[in-house]
Every structure is written in structure tokens, then in C-alpha cells.
Chains A and B, each alone.
Chain A
């Protein structure tokens, strides 16, 4: 049996945290979000990170399959990205007039992303999804936005639902909801709200939490693209989560269509805080007309990091590399599950794989198995897609499979066939 982690210092830190920080750790990285079940299996704070690993306060090392929920795409502390950032920091960062490194970064994105004629920068994914919706409304002079059920596009009021804390009916009264991959339903909504819809916003495929991830049906995106064009509806692709892990030219390019607006963040600069909205020329004036900016949006260091990150991702043919690593892991995990008679479903693109043990519809077995993996140093979460990064080695995958094997054995002992 492998040695199991203990989290004494993590818990002590959490006790300190809750006294001065709401929820101790709030939001998606916090234990209240429903992805750390049972919480006893998880560390709450890290002390250092390198490559594909992070260490917690108690000295436990984890192979990190969450990658800071996406930003860690090349490996923590990637030397090329960090050197570019340090070099820029020595020159200037947050200054009254922006650095021309912003132009360099925009030019690189326009050269890299297939549907990009321009780039607009901010800090978080939510900044650019909101910018995209504002742009669509400004251009079309229409109000309604179409979402696919199970979506996540950030945390601004327009992205939330009427029953969420702090949200009013007025915040979401222009939201329309349709099931993913149901083209007829989408067409019907477009028909019912003809001349009212400003935009359709969607992730490139359905990687909602708490459910198997679902790729687009054959020809689906092409039909959606045409429907939007025919109805004057702006097609926004929220590539914050999947961006650069499917295709460096954008996930719309991967699925063979072109978005009007495409949003990037997470993998853009390997952990340096920058996001980007890219789009077509016909929308450039609409973006220019927005009252939309932020104190740190033109800081130069993240731009330099982003240039280094994108350049390295292109050089490595990163999406191919991550999909290959993901497939190797996926095949190994399924084989380990089968060895103990479990039906492990792996869905989504392998560079962003989603796991679910399908034998138990309540997810309890799945939660127990994930917990056993985490206690042995493999950081999965219960109900969120995972992320691959370039520094994950074959030996890391082999170690992960050893851990998965032992965790499946524990699960089978607990729930005999």
C-alpha cells in the first residue's frame, strides 16, 4: 500500500483563512464548490509548484491534473515564459502609456488564431466574455443572448441564473437557454425571437461540470454558423477553458468553422494574468466604442509572457502533444478500471478529459475513487474536466496509473462485485 497524505498544516491554514476571508478559499478553488468530496482527501493550500507538480503545506507532492484550472499549460515555472516575463519586468510593466509589447502580442494572436483580425486584452476570462456580449449588443442593437444549458461563461450577473445569490430577474431577463447539440431547438428559439437576438455564446463543446462532456454532433457547428449568419446573430466562442489545448488556431478552427468573436484566457500566458478577445474586422469599431477598461489590462509583463507561451506552444505543436498524452492516460485509466470491474467513462478531448465511474448513478463511488487517488498524490477533482500540461512525463502517467490501480482496488474492496 502507498503511504496516504495527511493535511494537518492545510487545515490549520484553513482555520486561519476563514477568520479573515469569506469561505476561507472562495470560488472554484474552494472546498465549497463541490469538486472536493470528501474534503478530508484534499489539500487546500500549496507551498510550491514545478512542472506538472505542486506541493502542499504538509509537504505532499501532487501530480496536478487541474493545472490551476487551466493556466498551467507548459508546466509550472516554465523557464522560457518566466525569463520573458522577468526581462520585461526589468524594463517596465504597469505604466501610464502602454508598452509596444502589447502590439507584438496582438500581432502574434492575429497571426495564430484563424478567426482573429484584432485582439483586445483584459485580465480574466469573464472580462472578455462580457466584452464579447457588449460588443454583440453594440453592433446588433439587440438584447437577447442564447446560451446552451450547462454553460459556464464567467461570474458577471449576465452569466448567472435567476436563482443565484445576488442576481435579479432583470440581470438575466434577456437570456435564452437551449440544449446543446439540439439544432432543431436552437432553430426554434431563433424563430421565436427573430430580430431580438444579439449573440449566441458557446464553449466549443459541452464541458459543463457534473456531466459527461459532449462533443458537437457531425456538422452541428457548421449548421449553427449558418443559422447565426442568416439571422444576423453574432457567434461568440468562449475558448477560455479549451483554448490552445485543441488547436493553437482556436477551437473553432479545430471543429471547422469560424467564430465572429473568440475569448481566450487560461492557457494564454502559462499563469500570467491576461485574457484576450479576438474577432472579425466588422466588429472592430463596435469594440472601440465600448466604455470598457481596467487598471492592469495593459500591463506589459503578461503580454511578454503570452508571447513566449504562444511561441512555445506553436513550436511544440502543443495541442497534438497534450491530446497524445491525454489519450495515453485515458487508455491506461480505463484498463485499470476494467481490471477491477468498473465502468470508467472518459469524455471530452483527451487534453481536457472528464472522468466518471458510471456504475453508481449517485457519483459516490466516483467520489470515493477520486479521493483515494488524491490521498496518494494524484490530484483529480470530482466533477470538473481535467487539464493536461506539456511537462507531464510518461513516468508521471505510469505513476498515475499505479495510484489509480490501488485506488480502484480500495474501491472494489469497499464495494464487492
Chain B
């Protein structure tokens, strides 16, 4: 799903540049923006500016523009099976070919880590935080664009779901008129809460090694508030599994 890959996966470059030292070094002197325009799909621009990265949901002001004739082609770029060709910004290709590739490699290591890497606590926490953000964005995009996801979103009332690790990172999924928006921070108020008691519980849920029902029963996942929001979010989450594997 192109929306998840662009807004979820590539969107994590915002956090990567903020948290990861190597990514910060790589982008410290970068002032460049890359636009991704997917036919019948999402559009977005990653804007790098002196060590920060921001994702905008249009391509009107990008320096490098990468057009994709289909979602499949864009997803292929994410998988590494398709090499994109820019329609604009040939003089900035060095950033695309070198710095951007290195950034996505670092991001991949957090999203698909080797077991050894997870023994490093800081890496483990960053990786798990990225997965939490990715899940939140993926739920929102799947609820807005996938036919079954939209059906579930149709049953979610207006309000905010807080998806959080206790004393740790949090994300929000805001629902207005059955359209979902992910926010990668803790909301000031929520209507429904799904809280993991630890990073380990969250990780277990995300990588499929833990069972959500067991965790709810044992109290390691705490749910509260408007349960119909949580129920339907979980149905979308099941669909997200199809796209994120």
C-alpha cells in the first residue's frame, strides 16, 4: 500500500533525523527536498533542512521530483526492486543516490533489525518507537484507503485513540467523520486508550510474538474509554498486517 509506504515508512525519516546520530550527521548540511508523486496514489515531499526532515503531503515545492506511474512502482522503490527516475532536480541527484539511500538503509535497520541489534537497549527502544509510529500511520492510511479498512473506519465515532507505551512514546489516531489522521505524539486528551505496560509488550505485539488477547487478560495491555474505537482500530490493524507483513 503506497500510502503506508510514503506517509508511514518514509515519514519515519522525520524521527530518524531527530533521534539517530548518524542520520543527523548525514543531513546536517543538506537543504534539499524530494517529492514523490504516485499516479492514483499519494503525494508527498520529504524536506531536509540542516539536520531536520519534514514530510509534507504535496509535491508543489520539491527540488527533486520522482513520479511513479502506479502504486506498485512506488512500492517497488521501497522494496528496492524499482529504480526511480526523476522528472525534476537532476542536479541534486547526488543527495538522492548517496545520502538518501544511506538514510533509508539506517531506517531499514530499525524496522527490520537483526536480533543482535535489539540487545542494545537504546536501539531496541528507538526501533520499537518507530514501529509504534508506523502502526499508527498505517492504521490511519488503511482506514482511509483500503476498502475493508474504510468499512471499519465507518464504525469509528469522532474522537482520539491514544496508542501508548506506559511512561514511553505514544501516538494518536484522530477520527473525524470516519477519516483517520495519525499524530506521532501523545494527545492531550483521548476518547479511547490502548496502553502497553512496557516496550517489550509493544514489541511483542508488533512483531507477532505476543497475543493481544492474552496481554489484555494479563493486564499488560490496558484498554479504556470508548471501546468501539479500539475494536474497529484493531480490525484495521489486522488489515495492516497484509501490507506490512
Which residues does A use to contact B, with CB under 8 Å? 11, 14-15, 18, 22-26, 30-32, 34, 37-40, 44, 161-165, 210, 361-364, 367, 382-383
Tell me the complex Cα distance, A367–B191, Å: 13
Does B235 contact A39, Cβ atoms closer than 8 Å?
no
Does A39 contact B216, Cβ atoms closer than 8 Å?
yes
Tell me the complex Cα distance, A26–B211, Å: 12
- Would A38 and B222 be within 8 Å (CB), given that A18-B214, A24-B217, A30-B213 are in contact? yes
Which of A11, A23, A362 has most B Cβ within 10 Å? A362
Query: Which one of B43-51, B88-96, B164-172, B223-231 is at the A interface?
Result: B223-231
Does B226 contact A362, Cβ atoms closer than 8 Å?
yes
Cross-interface CB contact of A363 among B211, B217, B218, B227, cutoff 8 Å: B227
Distance in angstroms from A228 CB to nearest chain B CB is 27
CB closest chain-B residue, reference A39: B219
Does A23 contact B227, Cβ atoms closer than 8 Å?
no
B151 is an interface residue with CB less than 8 A from chain A: yes
B238 is an interface residue with CB less than 8 A from chain A: yes
Tell me the complex Cα distance, A406–B237, Å: 39
Distance in angstroms from A214 CB to nearest chain B CB is 16
Cross-interface CB contact of B218 among A14, A22, A26, A364, cutoff 8 Å: A14
**Inside 8 A of B148's CB, which chain A residues have their CB?**
162-163
B212 is an interface residue with CB less than 8 A from chain A: yes
CB closest chain-B residue, reference A23: B213
B159 is an interface residue with CB less than 8 A from chain A: yes
Cross-interface CB contact of A23 among B151, B191, B211, cutoff 8 Å: B211
Does B217 contact A25, Cβ atoms closer than 8 Å?
yes
Cross-interface CB contact of A31 among B151, B216, B227, cutoff 8 Å: B216
Does B191 contact A32, Cβ atoms closer than 8 Å?
no
Does B213 contact A22, Cβ atoms closer than 8 Å?
yes
- Would A163 and B224 be within 8 Å (CB), given that A18-B217, A30-B213, A39-B216 are in contact? no
> 19 A-B residue contacts at CB 8 Å?
A14-B217, A23-B211, A24-B213, A24-B214, A24-B217, A30-B213, A31-B213, A32-B213, A32-B216, A162-B148, A162-B151, A163-B152, A163-B236, A163-B239, A164-B235, A165-B235, A361-B191, A362-B191, A364-B224
CB closest chain-B residue, reference A382: B227
Does B217 contact A210, Cβ atoms closer than 8 Å?
no
Which of B152, B217, B223 has most A Cβ within 10 Å? B217
Distance in angstroms from A173 CB to nearest chain B CB is 13
**Inside 8 A of A34's CB, which chain B residues have their CB?**
223, 227, 230-231
Cross-interface CB contact of A38 among B211, B219, B238, B239, cutoff 8 Å: B219
**Inside 8 A of B149's CB, which chain A residues have their CB?**
163
**How many inter-chain residue pairs (CB < 8 Å) link A and B?**
78
Interface residue tally for chain B (C-beta within 8 Å): 30
- Would A163 and B225 be within 8 Å (CB), given that A23-B211, A30-B213, A32-B217 are in contact? no
**Inside 8 A of A32's CB, which chain B residues have their CB?**
212-213, 216-217
**Inside 8 A of B151's CB, which chain A residues have their CB?**
161-163
**Inside 8 A of A14's CB, which chain B residues have their CB?**
217-218
Does B227 contact A362, Cβ atoms closer than 8 Å?
no
B190 is an interface residue with CB less than 8 A from chain A: yes
- Known contacts A163-B151, A362-B225; 6 additional CB pairs below 8 A are A18-B218, A31-B213, A31-B216, A34-B231, A40-B219, A364-B224
Tell me the complex Cα distance, A32–B215, Å: 9
Tell me the complex Cα distance, A393–B7, Å: 59
B37 is an interface residue with CB less than 8 A from chain A: no
**Inside 8 A of B23's CB, which chain A residues have their CB?**
none
B140 is an interface residue with CB less than 8 A from chain A: no
Pairs A-B, 3 closest by C-beta atoms: A23-B213, A32-B213, A34-B227
Distance in angstroms from A370 CB to nearest chain B CB is 12
Does B213 contact A362, Cβ atoms closer than 8 Å?
no
Cross-interface CB contact of B225 among A31, A44, A364, cutoff 8 Å: A364
**Inside 8 A of A18's CB, which chain B residues have their CB?**
211, 214, 217-218
Tell me the complex Cα distance, A325–B235, Å: 39
Distance in angstroms from B228 CB to nearest chain A CB is 5
CB closest chain-A residue, reference B191: A362
B192 is an interface residue with CB less than 8 A from chain A: yes
CB closest chain-B residue, reference A44: B217
Does A362 contact B159, Cβ atoms closer than 8 Å?
yes
**Inside 8 A of A362's CB, which chain B residues have their CB?**
159, 190-192, 224-226
Interface 1/0s, chain B 186-199, versus A by CB < 8 A? 00001110000000
Tell me the complex Cα distance, A296–B125, Å: 53
Tell me the complex Cα distance, A331–B217, Å: 34
Distance in angstroms from A149 CB to nearest chain B CB is 9
Tell me the complex Cα distance, A25–B224, Å: 20
Does A367 contact B214, Cβ atoms closer than 8 Å?
no
Tell me the complex Cα distance, A308–B226, Å: 42
**Inside 8 A of A40's CB, which chain B residues have their CB?**
219
**Inside 8 A of B217's CB, which chain A residues have their CB?**
14, 18, 23-25, 30-32, 39, 44
CB closest chain-B residue, reference A17: B217
**Inside 8 A of B213's CB, which chain A residues have their CB?**
22-24, 26, 30-32
